[in-house]
Amino acid sequence: MRADVCHDAPLKIRAQRLRLPETASQRPYTDRIATVLITGGGGFIGFHLARLHASRGDRVTLVDSLAKGDGAVDADLARLLASGSVHLERIDLATADGAAALAPHAGVDVLYHLAAINGTQLFYEKPYEVSTANLRIMMNVLDAAERGRPGRLVYSSTSEVYADAGAVGLLQVPTDESAPVVFTQPTKIRFSYATSKFMGEFLALRFAEAKGVPTTVIRYHNVYGPRMGHRHVVPELIARIRGGSGPLDVFGLDETRAFCYVADAVEATRLVGALPEAPDLVHIGDAREEIRVEDLTRLLMKLMGIDRPIREAGRRDGSVSRRCPDTTRLRHLTGFTPQHWLAEGLLQTLEWYSAPSA
């Protein structure tokens, strides 16, 4: 089975995905980066990306307000900062002086912009705050990048941008980078995150054209793993499975997702950032195991040694019935293939969330 083919994909779609993208020329690339800056570096993916770079001997600056942790440095981040190759700058990029504070640190080989207000619950609970904060952060990062002139800008976006294309029958799954992005109506509050990230994509690519900073947009697809907080599907399910003994109500049991373990996601991100020429748009994910939400829940229960009845709780407004990325472009640009199967990644995630400090 090819690493970039969803197991449940129709045969017709699988055949279509064998075509190489125009960007698939065989070019050598440099995989050594000396200095990197990661906005949102205290968060989930940012932390793991920083740890990867530090393990390679790179010099890493993290920019984060640590607002998600109430300003506290947790034990994992403290150990990373103690390594000596990782430095933290506490900057709130959503404030008026965010750009001025960031600019002196922006003259790096690669600036990864990961900072954002995220978390599925927040899309519904605080849509205005999610949208406005993400756009302010984006404008401040671009302002700082114009002043600091990084060698490369990598902007992290999301597969959430494809949510409504499926609702109107325009989304092919597995989904490649040429798929249409559709937002049918502003009344769907789940789009608070996706619309802000898509506008960020547009701004990032126009910034590259206007200011001459090579820029790549990456769209993450359902990344999971240790230290991802408690507002995403995998940690939410872990907590809810542990939290009772009666029937477990779960949204969207028939929906499918293809999950990517965070160690794979950050290695792919690093490889994209190290390419000698910046592709405009690349999917990062793991298409090898597309799984129904009900089967994911049962797999977690099996790994946890817990057996509970599962009931359908309905579907959240704006949630897609199926999500699985086409990662052909990523593979042909970098040679990357994921190294962690779903059960392995879930076990490592469960181990972290079972620790007293989780």
**pLDDT over threshold 60, residue 19:** no
Please compute the mean of the pLDDT values over residues 322-331 and round it to a whole number. Answer: 97
Buried b (16+ CB within 10 A) or exposed e, 84-94: eebebbebbbb
Please indicate, yes or no, if residue 213 is contained in any of the structural domains. Answer: yes
Residue 249 lies in a domain: no
pLDDT tens digits along 150-168:
999 999 999 999 988 988 8
pLDDT for position 272: 97
- Positive or negative, the CA dihedral 319, 325, 329, 333 is positive
Establish if 153 belongs to a structural domain: yes
Give me the number of domains the chain comprises.
1
| 315: in domain | no
pLDDT of 143? 98
Confirm whether 170 is domain-assigned: yes
Which pLDDT does position 7 carry in this prediction?
54
Given a cut of 60, whether residue 21 has pLDDT beyond it is no
Residue 323 has pLDDT above 70, yes or no: yes
At residue 315, the pLDDT reads: 84
Tell which wins on pLDDT, 45 or 10: 45
Would residue 303 count as lying in a domain?
Answer: no
What percentage of residues in the chain have a pLDDT greater than 90?
Answer: 77
Task: Provide the pLDDT confidence category of residue 5 given band limits of 50, 70 and 90.
Answer: low
Bridge pairing between strands 290-292 and 256-258: antiparallel
Nearest one of 41, 44, 72, 75 to 59, comparing CA atoms: 41
The CATH number covering residue 185 comes to 3.40.50.720
Mean pLDDT, residues 303-328 taken together: 91
**Cβ count near 230 (within 10 Å):** 12
Q: Note the pLDDT of residue 99.
A: 97
The verdict on residue 295 lying in a domain is: no
Is 50 part of any domain? yes
- Helix or strand (DSSP H, E) at 75: helix 75-81
Asked if residue 152 lies in contact with residue 36, where contact means CB atoms within 8 angstroms, the answer is: no
pLDDT at 20: 31
- Containing structural domain, residue 128: 11-19+31-221+262-287+325-338
Q: What is the pLDDT of residues 103-128, one digit of tens each?
A: 999 999 999 999 998 877 777 889 99
| Residue 13 confidence (pLDDT) above 50 | no
% of the chain at pLDDT higher than 70: 90
> Residue 313 corresponds to which amino acid?
A
pLDDT 10s digits, 219-259:
999 999 999 988 889 999 999 999 988 999 999 999 999 99
